[in-house]
Structure 1
Amino acid sequence: MNRLAEKAIKSPKIYIWTTAIITIVIIILVALPMLTEKFANILHPLTIDTDPESMLAYDAPVRVTHRAKKKEFGVFDLMAIGVVNKTHKNGVFNKKTLNKVYDLATYAKSLQWKDKNNKTEGVLGVELISPSNVDNIEQGGPGTVKFNWLMPKPPTTEAEALEVFRKIQKQPILKGSLSSSDGQALALYIPLSSKHVSYKISALLKKRIASYDDEDEFFITGLAVAQDTFAIEMFQQMAITTPLAMILIFGLLWFFFRNITLVISPMIIAIVSAIVTMGLLIVTGNAIHILSSMIPIFIMPIAVLDAIHILSDFYDRYPQFKDRKKAIQFVMS
């Protein structure tokens, strides 16, 4: 460290320009794959991983077992929509509310698209569970069983709406899971191709729900939604918090020192440190996930702290030596 400091003191411009060039090169290497597909095939583009499971390695035993069991039992990532009506005497089993539920289920089934590999993503319509998508099993006659849809079409009368509730209460599998025993709440279970689409699906469903009146309450929940929403919101918060942290640090430095040179120098070091660290992660092909998105928040205070410590010590020692090089050598020794 002393040898490096000695060289930097003798040739400061070389080290300043070297740092600047390295920083600019890293910025270019990060930006090029995002600007044109030509470089995306050569360099590593920015990859954001919002999966909380990525905090563990892909081949971690717990993740391997989890994937194997999901495949073995045919488990899908799931989101649920709860519908509540506490004002109507029949709860959610009234004509108006069930029409909304039917419309929402039909809309949810349509939320599918093709990804870049031409694979279908979105809602798995055939696995969706709602009053309009589950079987009603009844005795059809002596020795026969009759299967039909629980709610094949939206009810047109209050009596038809109550009939849906009556049928649910007669089904042990549906009673207490598709609707509450008092009829005030009802659930839709929406399976997803992967949990990574849950944030997009929930946003589209919220937009659809916003078009309904306010007589009913809708709640969107599920582990997939919670994880994906947390991750995406976390990245958005980091994008906001990092610049705010820089502004706060700048303001505090100005408040204490009132010297633009003393304030700008640590800020440059902090910004360069954050850019180089995050840039190297991206350029080397590493995905930016939830934890690594926090790196700039931790780097900047550390960089500023070290820079301020060196500058403060320099200003204390300078009157003693009356020579900048000797004062810097003493501080860095």
Structure 2
Amino acid sequence: MAEKTEGSWLEFVTDRPRLTVWAMVVATLALVALAALPSVWPERFGLLNPLTIDTDPENMLSSDEPVRVFHDDMKEQFSLYDMVVVGVVNESNPDGVFNVGSLRRIYELTEYASTLRWPDPDNPGRQEGVVEEDMLALSRVDNIEQEGVGSVRFSWLMPEPPDTRNQALAILERAQRIPLFDNTLVSADGKAVALYLPLTSKDMSYRVREALLDKVAGWKDTGDQVYITGLPVAEDTFGVQMFYQMAISAPLAMLVIFLAMWWFFRHVRLITSAMIVAMVAAASTMALLVISGSTVHIMSSMIPVFIMPIAVLDAVHILSEFFDRYP
């Protein structure tokens, strides 16, 4: 162990343990307060930086990263949108989803999805959400048929919900006859139908997903199963759930470290002191991250889990040498 040196900071803190602990507690609480207050009351603490969370994995790359610039340019050039895909599956009905009840519900779900738009807070007068004009669904795509010699007839594939079984099966037959829709909009066995919902911004994917889940909440006894996927949903859902998981994982990591140290040293007071150091290190680091105006990304949300085991390393060395000298 390091020997005390006359006039050194080590001698100062060891001779004044209570003062050192109080200074540590006050400094930690002050940092946490400076990070939390502007987030809770932004109107009163406008000069401080509030907590800023960004769950977009793309922002883990800089905005001028060549691959990201090329990706954005191609999306703009070809008018591409991030897509939410809704799959409706029915395996209990012999006709799959192409029965009167299922197609009626799919039609209603499509009409509801087309209304999922909200005012854009950054651009007054504009709306964000589902791009209705580019939706792909049974009731939003064309049925292409030859009407006569040298003429082609275009009509909606499902202009309205069918009333009979034959009408429902006719929709399946027409959809499978068009290569663009076969095994993309409808499955080969007729048990599944997909809805493709383009978004003005992938930040809206989580909100659109939650609205769709609320809409289909009453479908449990109908035989229809709804699956919502798509890259923006996966990214946004992962980003949102990541912070919830960190709220669970960080305390669990602390508990595992505490139990492991108790197993080795069997002295709660000494172990608690090491755990306090770990908590202070994690809380102070995250508070400084917020105070400095840095954005909390998916990866930075895991900082406490990494800091806590690192913070107890020195404590383990000190405790081990203490137990070796004073068994």
Length-normalised TM-score, structure 2: 0.88
SS at match of 2:218: coil
CA distance in 1 between partners of 2:45 and 2:181 (Å): 50
- Give yes or no for the alignment of 1:177 onto 2:172: no
Give the structure 1 partner of residue 297 of structure 2: 289
Cα offset, 1:314, TM superposition: 3.6
2:155 to 125, 132, 148: 148
Give the structure 2 partner of residue 81 of structure 1: 86
CA distance in 1 between partners of 2:184 and 2:260 (Å): 55
CA distance in 2 between partners of 1:220 and 1:140 (Å): 37
CA distance in 1 between partners of 2:78 and 2:275 (Å): 54
Give the structure 2 partner of residue 52 of structure 1: 57
Q: How many residues align?
A: 319
Give the structure 2 partner of residue 166 of structure 1: 173
SS at match of 1:220: strand
Cα offset, 1:132, TM superposition: 0.9
- Give yes or no for the alignment of 1:233 onto 2:238: no
Cα offset, 1:290, TM superposition: 1.2
Alignment of 1:57-136 (within 5 A): 57-117=62-122, 118=124, 119-136=126-143
Alignment of 1:314-333 (within 5 A): 314-317=322-325
Identity over aligned residues, as a percent?
47
Length-normalised TM-score, structure 1: 0.87
Deviations 1:42-95 (A, max 9, x none): 211111111122222222222122111111111111121222233433322211
Cα offset, 1:151, TM superposition: 1.2
- Across the aligned residues of Structure 1 and Structure 2, the Cα RMSD in angstroms comes to 2.3
CA distance in 2 between partners of 1:15 and 1:68 (Å): 56
SS at match of 1:132: helix
1:248 to 241, 256, 281: 256
Gaps of 5+ in 1: 320-333
1:258 to 266, 279, 287: 266
Deviations 1:125-158 (A, max 9, x none): 2221101111223344555443332211111111
CA distance in 2 between partners of 1:186 and 1:55 (Å): 35
CA distance in 2 between partners of 1:131 and 1:123 (Å): 17
2:177 maps to a residue whose letter is: K
Moved beyond 6 Å, runs of 4+: none
Give the structure 2 partner of residue 211 of structure 1: 218
CA distance in 2 between partners of 1:316 and 1:245 (Å): 27
Mapped contact 2:42–2:50 kept (Cα < 8 A): no
- Give yes or no for the alignment of 1:272 onto 2:277: no
Cα offset, 1:270, TM superposition: 0.5
CA distance in 2 between partners of 1:40 and 1:178 (Å): 52
CA distance in 1 between partners of 2:225 and 2:214 (Å): 14
CA distance in 1 between partners of 2:91 and 2:71 (Å): 39
Cα offset, 1:299, TM superposition: 0.8
Give the structure 2 partner of residue 324 of structure 1: none
- Give yes or no for the alignment of 1:28 onto 2:33: yes
Distance 1:247 1:182, change over 3 A: closer
Mapped contact 2:82–2:200 kept (Cα < 8 A): yes
CA distance in 2 between partners of 1:269 and 1:115 (Å): 45
Give the structure 1 partner of residue 10 of structure 2: 5
2:96 maps to a residue whose letter is: G
Distance 1:266 1:130, change over 3 A: same
Give the structure 1 partner of residue 230 of structure 2: 222
Deviations 1:254-304 (A, max 9, x none): 344333320221111001000111111111111111111111111111112
Mapped contact 2:131–2:197 kept (Cα < 8 A): yes
Cα offset, 1:315, TM superposition: 4.7
1:113 maps to a residue whose letter is: W
CA distance in 2 between partners of 1:185 and 1:47 (Å): 40
Alignment of 1:38-49 (within 5 A): 38-39=43-44, 41-49=46-54
1:122 maps to a residue whose letter is: G
CA distance in 2 between partners of 1:103 and 1:61 (Å): 43
Cα offset, 1:37, TM superposition: 2.5
1:37 to 36, 42, 47: 42
Gaps of 5+ in 2: none
